[in-house]
Chain A
Amino acid sequence: DAGVIQSPRHEVTEMGQEVTLRCKPISGHNSLFWYRQTMMRGLELLIYFNNNVPIDDSGMPEDRFSAKMPNASFSTLKIQPSEPRDSAVYFCASSLDRERADTQYFGPGTRLTVL
Chain B
Amino acid sequence: SQQGEEDPQALSIQEGENATMNCSYKTSINNLQWYRQNSGRGLVHLILIRSNEREKHSGRLRVTLDTSKKSSSLLITASRAADTASYFCATARAGGSYIPTFGRGTSLIVHP
Contact = CB atoms under 8 A, between A and B. Distances in A.
Interface of A: 4, 33, 42-43, 45, 48, 55-56, 91, 93, 98-109
A19 B48 CA distance: 35
Closest 7 CB pairs of A and B: A106-B42, A43-B102, A42-B104, A106-B43, A101-B98, A108-B42, A103-B45
B97 to A, nearest CB: 7
B55 to A, nearest CB: 18
Given A100-B98, A102-B31, A103-B48, A108 B104 contact: no
A107 B41 CA distance: 8
Interface of B: 2, 30-31, 33, 40-45, 48, 88, 92, 97-105
Given A42-B2, A42-B104, A43-B88, A99 B98 contact: yes
A76 to B, nearest CB: 18
Given A42-B2, A43-B88, A56-B97, A106 B44 contact: yes
Contacts of A93: 42-43
21 contacts: A4-B42, A42-B2, A42-B105, A43-B88, A43-B105, A55-B97, A91-B42, A91-B43, A93-B43, A101-B92, A101-B97, A101-B100, A102-B100, A103-B33, A103-B48, A104-B43, A106-B42, A108-B41, A109-B40, A109-B41, A109-B42
Nearest to B88: A43
A98 B98 contact: yes
Contact of A102 (B33, B40, B44, B102): B33
Q: Most chain-B CB neighbours within 10 Å: which of A43, A103, A105?
A: A43
A105 B45 contact: yes
A45 B2 contact: no
B109 to A, nearest CB: 17
Contacts of A99: 98
Contacts of B44: 106
